[in-house]
């Protein structure tokens, strides 16, 4: 790799890791703003979104600059493409953290309600998936990336079960409708964070071996081979 390209990619890596750290901290604080009913923390998450948006643009511009100036090939090109994709996932996770914080502000304006589902458990799983996806990114660890992908179905199942539990809670306590719907929204946002963590893990797999893991690509490959035979 030419020395100038190597320096630019290292700079890009540091920018990306810095963005990862900010987004991960915002997710943690957003969840805590709900569980601890902390409005000040929620407001801080909302304010931080500007920083995340700015960092996301900086990373994208750095990727485009490297592509234009150095025209990387092979693994370097794959790395830049993957960074462009997961950069968008990080920005969306930041947006979801803001959404959670905004629901925390709504919840905190009402009397506390008994959560009819395991919200802390779902939050913990989503955060573990996000943390592991970042670990996979930092270490280019295919096994950890696959573990993240395997966890996604469990989070989806928990989120689906929560819809039924909230529906029953609304029937019993219609006066708590606004709070229960807000809690259900938090559940949905956490599920979406888990989805984006899965996307990041799949992008890591693409970085490592160049295979696109999304949209059941392994099935599509098998179907293509069967059609050709």
Report whether pLDDT(214) > 70. no
pLDDT at 2: 75
Q: Which of 4-8, 41-45, 116-120 has the highest mean pLDDT?
A: 41-45
Cα 77 to Cα 70: distance, rounded to the nearest angstrom = 10
- At 166, the pLDDT band (50, 70, 90 cuts) reads confident
pLDDT at 15: 94
Cα 130 to Cα 152: distance, rounded to the nearest angstrom = 11
Cα 163 to Cα 152: distance, rounded to the nearest angstrom = 17
Report whether pLDDT(66) > 80. yes
For Cα atoms 160, 165, 171, give the angle at the middle one, nearest 5 degrees.
135
pLDDT at 224: 43
Cα 113 to Cα 179: distance, rounded to the nearest angstrom = 7
Q: First-to-last CA distance in the chain?
A: 40
- Helix, strand or coil, per DSSP, at residue 89: helix
Report whether pLDDT(218) > 80. no
Cα 106 to Cα 108: distance, rounded to the nearest angstrom = 5
Mean pLDDT on 100-112: 93
Report whether pLDDT(208) > 90. no
Cα 81 to Cα 45: distance, rounded to the nearest angstrom = 29
Question: Measured between alpha carbons, how far is residue 121 from residues 130, 158, 184 in Å?
Answer: 14, 9, 14
Cα 193 to Cα 159: distance, rounded to the nearest angstrom = 12
Domains in the chain with CATH codes: 3-228 (1.20.58.220)
Report whether pLDDT(68) > 70. yes
């Amino acid at each position: 790799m030419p020395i100038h390209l190597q320096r630019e990619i290292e700079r890009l890596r540091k920018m990306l890791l810095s963005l990862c750290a900010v987004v991960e901290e915002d997710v943690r604080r957003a969840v805590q703003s709900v569980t601890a009913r902390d409005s000040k923390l929620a407001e801080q998450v909302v304010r931080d979104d500007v920083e995340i948006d700015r960092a996301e643009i900086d990373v994208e511009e750095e990727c485009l600059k490297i592509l234009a100036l150095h025209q990387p090939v092979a693994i370097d090109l794959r790395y830049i493409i993957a960074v462009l994709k997961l950069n968008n996932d990080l920005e969306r996770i930041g947006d979801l953290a803001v959404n959670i914080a905004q629901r925390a502000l709504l919840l905190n304006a009402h009397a506390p309600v008994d959560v009819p589902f395991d919200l802390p458990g779902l939050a913990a799983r989503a955060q573990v998936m996000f943390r592991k996806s970042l670990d996979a990114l930092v270490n280019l660890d295919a096994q950890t990336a696959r573990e993240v992908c395997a966890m996604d179905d469990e989070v989806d199942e928990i989120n689906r079960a929560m819809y039924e539990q909230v529906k029953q809670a609304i029937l019993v306590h219609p006066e708590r409708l606004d709070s229960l719907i807000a809690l259900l929204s938090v559940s949905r946002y956490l599920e979406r964070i888990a989805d984006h963590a899965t996307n990041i893990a799949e992008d890591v797999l693409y970085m490592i071996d160049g295979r696109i893991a999304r949209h059941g690509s392994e099935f599509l490959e098998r179907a293509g081979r069967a059609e050709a035979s």
